[in-house]
Structure 1
Amino acid sequence: MKNYNSYENMVKARAHVFHERLNWEVEVINGREEDEYDRLYNPLYIISERSDGSHAASIRLLPTTGPTMLRNIFYRFFPDCPDIYGANIWEVTRYCATLNKGDSMEHTGELFIKLADLCLDAGIDIVTGVFFKPMFRILTRSGWDPVPVSISEHAGKSIILGTFEISEARKQEVAYKYQIAC
């Protein structure tokens, strides 16, 4: 069951970040960015909020055994890439950070640690995602060390399809990088 306020804050933050700031071609209705994956496929969300309840960072997770953005949308950018799926592999999409002036990256660290916890509890040991090259550097600095599967270009920018190992050691590395006790 979705926490309505958290979910509403997240889809409004996604509209602001993806549509207004990054100029992505996403559907925004009434100031909310939702797509078919939100509406039809019952994804999991991890949302980090500030103490006042406002959105700080979020991601969406989908099992790769069902419809995914890689399989249904991004495949055209990676034509030689094999279909990545399995019960132990989930897709992470819609990473959204709405950091305010003075915010630390702690919310992203918290998000990544919760991702590791959730995956470890569910037997998921690999996540996959498509991201722009600058995000690759953020992920690497965060301790995730994504493994590039394929690199392409979209709107003149490099995009990377990568996989990420989920393990207790990886979680501890992320916690260390963000100086978060877990």
Structure 2
Amino acid sequence: MVRILPEMPLVTVQPDIVSSRVNQRSATGGNAQRIGRKGSHFRIDFVSEPLDPDEARQWGDLRAEDDVVRIPVPQPGLDIGAPGTDCTVTGGPQSGANLTITGLTPHYAIRKDQLLNHYASDGSVRLYRARSEVVADASGEVTVPLETMLTWPAYHSDVIDFTDPKIEGYPTADPSSWLMDGHGYQTLKFSVEEPG
């Protein structure tokens, strides 16, 4: 089950990649190689502003033991513009570190480090980041280089969303999140990690 978390007044957001890459070094200690592998995924650490008791109670789902949560990921300073309302995967199944998308506004520019969600065939929402800037062609199609490999095959017509990126995964709350100050306020500190 997916538990949808509310919007939060945030103090800090720290995205990080949980990497599956392999570092190999030759037997003689000389050459080193770094090999990317499927499975690298996001973990994001969040810290809230102090929340009053009523606000804090809305966040009890952070204690979920076996469910995933979904929460928006802010992109401060990034004007998303109008990417299009019917963005989908074209072709497929796709794998690797590129994703071909159609349905974008013609000539829409996807910025380096811009986030996107893939609504996958297994019902989950996966988060990716564009590795470089790319511009859709006149028909609204583009191939987006991704920072990490796809962790699930992208099938033709799977939905892609640029307007409201979210992370979906397992929550881990710092035990101090439930500490109330003298006025009953709580500052939530937690991470959400994709299953991979």
Structure 1 and Structure 2 fold alike (TM over 0.5): no
Q: State the TM-score, normalizing by the size of structure 2.
A: 0.23
Which of 1 and 2 has higher RCO (CA within 8 Å, sep 6+)?
Answer: 2
The structure with the largest helix share of the pair is 1
Structure number with larger C-alpha Rg = 2
